[in-house]
Chains A and B, each alone.
Chain A
Amino acid sequence: MSEQQHKPKKSRLGKIARRTFLIGTGAIAGGLAVGYYSYQRGFDNPLLSDLDRGESTFNPFVKIATDNTITIIVPRAEMGQGVTTTLAALVAEELDVALDAVTVEHGPASSAYLNQAMLIDAAPVPAFDDSFTAGGYRGAMEILSKFLAIQATGGSSSTVDAFEKMRFAGCAAREVLKQAAAEKFDVSPAALATNNGRVEDTASGRSATYGELAARAATMSPPANMQLRTRSQWKLLGKSQPRTDIRQKVTGAPIFGIDVDLPDMVYATVKMNPHLGGRVNSIDASQAADMKGVIKVVPIESQTGNGFAVIADNSWRAFQAAEAVTVDWGPAPYPAETAQITGQLRETLETGDRFSLREAGDPDTAFSNSAPDQVLEAEYEVPFLAHATMEPMNATARFKDGKLDIWSPNQSPTIIRSVCASVANLDPDQVHVHTTFLGGGFGRRSEVDFSIYAVKLAMETGGRPVKVTWTREEDITHDTYRPAALARYQALLNDQGMPTALRATVASPSIIPSLIGRTYPSLPAGGPDKTLIEGAYDQPYAIDNYRIDAAKAEIAVPVGFWRSVGNSFNAFMQESFLDEIAASTGKDPLALRLELSKSWPVATRVLEKVAQMAHWGETLPNGRAQGIAFTLSFGTWVAQIVQVREIDGSIKIEKVWCVADPGEVLDPAIFKAQMVSGIIFGLSSAIGQEITFSEGMVEQSNFHDFDAMRMNQCPAIEVEILENSPHMGGAGEPGTPPSIPALANAIFALNAKRIRHLPLSREVDFA
């Protein structure tokens, strides 16, 4: 890789207050907080209140014990994206310890672990926009992020957020360990080196382990002018590392929320109103109460749903008893049938209020000056989707001696702490959230419902811990779904077949008010919600007259963040439409995109590279075809080509090529694995997933009718990385959006069938 590619990447976290997090929050077991460097008062180090004997902490990310056990706190949910490896490597790199010599823990819920990058990326400006105005929006979000101080995992933001913060954490600990050694050896810290968990005085040959120095070092303040190591000095970062969690995951270790096992624990399941948001008119639990192992049937009323739980001595007995409860469910607050919901989307599309976030030229005048037959027009529609994480929703809670403990596989620990405190009528300080490993997240586990239900049941068990496991049926039918959406796209083309005007309206339920309603129901949640149009309005395409309008549909189906959020459908719509524009004049779809994005070389390079990998444009054997798509999402520029083959009337997805540019990659193998993962997740939705409603209830219930791609359907996938983007982007989500239109475009190239409605399986069969 050339030097030019490796100019330092700017984090959009422009000036994180390093000292706020890292200076002066050190202490030793016993709670003696000394050396406070009051440059700017930051968040307290949450590790201080819970140190084991012999442990010292240097800042919220590092603990070292006298026996030289080095613990790195990775305060993000590990759901497969590799944070327990890559974020730990950020600290280990600066601390000079091997990754296999450290213990990695999630740590407690704390504002000290706020995620600023996630909120900054939520600013309503395209990622390619580096203007003064866009910077102002991001700055405002940065301030807001510190005010809210939300610890959360999402928005493909973990690495971006941690990149400086956690390296400084390692650096600050290293420097005070050197100071303690300098004092001990009576030399200058500058004369000392660190290596593999030891401070060494090479001149005299003396050395000390970090463990020996930790207690003294934790009382010292690091120097004010700490310098992070440069890329050329890195030993771990930039190179693929073995995952720190791999051994547990190949031996079946009990690391997930569903595996929590506590003394005296009872087991429960919930059954909430399948008419989502509806009330409970009456419950008859008389039969269930007499069933083997049943301890109690408990009605649940909550901000996320109404229903009941069965507490028993075994999960399966709870499932059986829940089936035996008879309930008169109240109706849902949304139209009962999918056709009616679609009708409401259409009405919103035609007549609803709109907002937009970016306009070029004057598209409305351009269209009103054109004859109708000059306008290329198409409508696209996508369904609701479930997350279907492999581990069904669950949580365990115990309320004992005025202390509430929640073991929850979750993406938002500080929100869970505050919401559950209010549910239990406790002070947040009485609530302790233990974040386990997650058997998949995809956005579903940023919700609070599964934790709330466990807490409500913990108030009913006289201090016994209760593990609440949802059945798969409950999980699929009580999700917070990827919103359905309906859009109309219009374009005017010039003589060269290039669009001179493009406008669209996207009608969809809005995620933010739905989420706020479940989380903090008393808060207002109005205003533009960029998730309705992200993946469309914010793409690096120059069209003289351009605007994407969003129209919020007032449909009360619970909707939430689903891997890549609005990008998951807007990319399908706009990238399909670009393909239609190209096809209408016989233009090459790659050439069209290269022309539109020519002001953004980061985009053209990923497109050119993926075309080269796939031999785009070369004649393929009969029955095979390729489709291309591009999406800039979560700061990462991704182009993909999908190759399909027709076999006996069915379509086999043979191969996917992917080129991604996130600016800088810290772990190439993990980054590539995330691209592969995102692609398979996107293709899974495209080849068959949809959530539909009948009589107010979700019709799908398990993997037999809401399936995902299987081994026999999985294409070969090749991923290459470029590092031309000036900003660091994310990994978990950006692989998903282009996979869906690339497949739809490949099917068009194969058989001239333009499918504008997901899933594609409505019109073609997949092998």
Chain B
Amino acid sequence: MKLSVNGTVHDLDIEPEMPLLWVLRDELDIKGPKFGCGIAACGACTVHVDGEPVRSCTLPIGDVEGEVTTIEAIGSADSLHAVQQAWIEEQVPQCGYCQSGQIMSAVALLREIPNPSDEDIDSALSGNLCRCGTYPAIRAAIRRAATKNIGA
């Protein structure tokens, strides 16, 4: 089975029902997507498949059709993604565990809606749980990144 992750194609001998999350974490050592619930209820495992946000903890690898992008590949070491940069400027993370998923959801939102309303943010991010309560900071960071979007 072939799986393309962050631009690299992997040839894998894995049962097709294994969720993408565990292929990434345990087979490919890509640890950015986190395990939170296993039932697509918390968003910590969010990655992109062909640019669309998906919960990798419930997506069987056999059903993955397209390029998988994880947080490791949205920016580069020299140049972080605008959303990551906004996250730093707003000092969003506390424990940080949910933030890969939050950022992946935010990146997808801003690609779809460059200048989202509060309702757009609510609807795109409410699937991403944060137990530290960084929501107000996330909201501010998305607005900040959106401002740059428009300015660009």
Contact = CB atoms under 8 A, between A and B. Distances in A.
Interface of A: 78-82, 242-243, 245-256, 258-259, 261, 267, 292, 314-317, 319, 388-392, 437-442, 469, 471-473, 669, 673, 676-681, 684, 702-704, 707-712, 714, 716-717
Contact of A673 (B98, B131, B137): B137
B129 A392 contact: no
Contacts of A245: 93, 96
Nearest to A472: B37
Contacts of A712: 122-123, 126
B142 to A, nearest CB: 10
A80 B96 contact: yes
B64 to A, nearest CB: 15
Interface in B124-139: 125-126, 128-139
A316 B70 contact: no
B38 A249 contact: no
A317 B27 CA distance: 12
Given A246-B88, A249-B99, A711-B138, A315 B26 contact: yes
A254 B97 CA distance: 10
Interface string B75-98: 100001000100110011111111
Interface string B97-133: 1111001000000000000000001110110111111
Given A250-B99, A253-B32, 16 more contacts: A243-B91, A248-B96, A252-B31, A252-B70, A252-B100, A314-B26, A315-B35, A390-B97, A440-B97, A669-B91, A673-B134, A676-B133, A680-B133, A707-B129, A710-B129, A711-B138
10 contacts: A246-B91, A255-B96, A259-B31, A292-B15, A390-B95, A440-B97, A473-B38, A680-B132, A684-B131, A711-B121
Given A251-B84, A252-B33, A392-B35, A439 B97 contact: yes
B11 interface: no
Interface residues of B, number: 57
A677 B132 contact: yes
Contact of A249 (B18, B25, B33, B96): B96
Nearest to B95: A80
A246 B41 CA distance: 25
Contacts of B35: 258, 315, 392, 469
Nearest to A669: B91
Contacts of B34: 256, 258, 390-391, 439
A150 B121 CA distance: 44
Interface of B: 15, 18-19, 21-22, 25-27, 29, 31-39, 41-42, 44, 70-72, 75, 80, 84, 87-88, 91-100, 103, 121-123, 125-126, 128-139
B133 A250 contact: no
A391 B130 CA distance: 11
Contacts, number: 176
Contacts of B19: 316
Contact of B22 (A314, A388, A389, A714): A314
A250 B87 contact: yes
Contacts of A673: 91, 94, 134, 137
Contacts of A676: 133, 136-137
Contacts of A707: 41, 129
B126 A710 contact: yes
B137 A390 contact: no
Contact of B126 (A242, A684, A711): A711
Contacts of B41: 702-704, 707
Contact of B42 (A267, A680, A703): A703
Contacts of A246: 87-88, 91, 93
Closest 8 CB pairs of A and B: A252-B32, A680-B133, A80-B94, A439-B97, A249-B96, A80-B95, A252-B71, A316-B22
B84 to A, nearest CB: 4
A250 B88 contact: yes
A679 B31 contact: no
Contacts of B26: 267, 314-316
A711 B84 contact: no
A438 B93 CA distance: 12
A252 B74 CA distance: 11
Nearest to B92: A250
Q: Residue among A78, A250, A679 with the most chain B CB within 10 A? A: A250
B27 A314 contact: yes
Given A250-B80, A440-B131, A714 B93 contact: no
B136 A316 contact: no
A389 B88 contact: no
B54 to A, nearest CB: 16
B136 A708 contact: no
A561 to B, nearest CB: 16
Contacts of B80: 250-251
Nearest to B94: A80
B15 to A, nearest CB: 7
